[in-house]
């Protein structure tokens, strides 16, 4: 058998272990205001890192100061879908813990199985990504401490076209207060959509919030993460296939101005 044949066989063997999306199909979106039943940590201290990142936890146990050195989650993909962004980001930031937060149970289960399959097929890789089924619009502070995150992503969120449903949108002035809380000063929030009205809405909300500032276009173009926003996810790939437009907004978390005494 030639080397090329061996590589092809190995590739087929690895891909065979990946879950098939057709067995995990779900509705495109869920109502974030409805009640769902899943476990929720009481506080960030109660998040079970051992189930999400066993490789990192095992490494830290060999150090007497493990509690101080145990890495924290730094990237969060809100509404992560089928996990495409996480998979692309993982090798770019191999020492950074990141998590996808997804409300739909079948989709979050698919991402979990996908990550486990990738870890099994690629020993030592993809150990820094995980997924949790939760409602980030309700429980984000239950997972992250103040200033814990350095990047937070909102890729192709539900546009909720009807005005009466705008309160369901994942970007709003009220929710930006929570995102500002969990983002460190200097942290970045990334949004992208193929709906121009929603893109304008998200940009307006971010521009109107005192703790976020738009990043200059030159810096955006130099950011390797921005290049993944439109291509890493299933939704982004669908938009590209159909020749659609995308509208993104990238903002930095800034410190509040000194209060007037």
Task: State which residues of the chain have pLDDT below 70.
Answer: 1-16, 19-36, 58-69, 161, 258-261
CA angle 86, 92, 96 (to 5 degrees): 70
Number of helical (H) and strand (E) elements in the chain, helices listed first = 12, 7
For the chain, the average pLDDT equals: 85
CATH of the domain spanning 68-253: 3.40.50.150
Query: Which runs of E-coded beta strand occur in 7-141?
Result: 73-78, 97-102, 129-133
CA-to-CA distance for 98 and 154, rounded, in angstroms? 14
Maximal CA-CA distance, the chain: 78
Q: Please give the model's pTM, rounded to 2 decimal places.
A: 0.84
Q: From the annotation, which residues make up the binding site for S-adenosyl-L-methionine?
A: 79, 102-103, 135-136, 155, 233-235
Crossing angle of helices 105-121 and 84-92, rounded to 10°: 30
pLDDT of 88: 97
Domain boundaries, given as residue ranges, for the chain: 68-253
CA-to-CA distance for 175 and 6, rounded, in angstroms? 51
CA distances from 237 to 116, 140, 233, 242 (A): 23, 28, 6, 9
Supply 179's token pair. 């995102």
pLDDT of 13: 44
pLDDT of 259: 53
CA-to-CA distance for 39 and 54, rounded, in angstroms? 20
Residues with catalytic roles:
158
Q: From the annotation, which residues make up the binding site?
A: 79, 102-103, 135-136, 155, 233-235
């Amino acid at each position: 058998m030639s080397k090329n044949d061996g590589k092809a066989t190995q590739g087929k063997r690895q891909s065979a272990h990946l879950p098939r999306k057709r067995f995990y199909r779900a509705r495109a979106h869920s109502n974030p205001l409805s009640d769902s039943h899943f476990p929720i940590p009481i506080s960030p201290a109660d998040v079970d890192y051992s189930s999400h990142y066993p490789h990192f936890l095992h490494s830290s146990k060999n150090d007497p100061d493990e509690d101080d050195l145990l890495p924290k989650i730094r990237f969060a993909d809100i509404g992560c879908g089928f996990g495409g962004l996480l998979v692309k980001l993982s090798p770019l930031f191999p020492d950074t813990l990141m998590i996808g937060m997804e409300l739909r149970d079948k989709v979050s289960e698919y991402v979990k199985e996908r990550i486990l399959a990738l870890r099994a097929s690629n020993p030592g890789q993809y150990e820094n990504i995980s997924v949790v089924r939760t409602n980030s619009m309700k429980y984000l502070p239950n997972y992250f401490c103040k200033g814990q995150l350095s990047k937070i992503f909102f890729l192709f969120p539900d546009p909720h076209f009807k005005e009466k449903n705008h309160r369901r949108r994942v970007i709003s002035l009220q929710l930006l207060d929570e995102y500002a809380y969990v983002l460190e000063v200097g942290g970045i929030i990334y949004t992208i959509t193929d709906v121009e009205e929603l893109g304008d809405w998200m940009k307006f909300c971010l521009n109107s919030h005192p703790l976020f500032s738009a990043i200059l276009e030159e810096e955006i173009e130099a950011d390797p993460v921005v290049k993944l926003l439109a291509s890493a996810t299933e939704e982004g790939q669908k938009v590209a296939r159909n020749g659609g437009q995308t509208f993104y907004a990238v903002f930095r978390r800034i410190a509040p101005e000194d209060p007037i005494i």
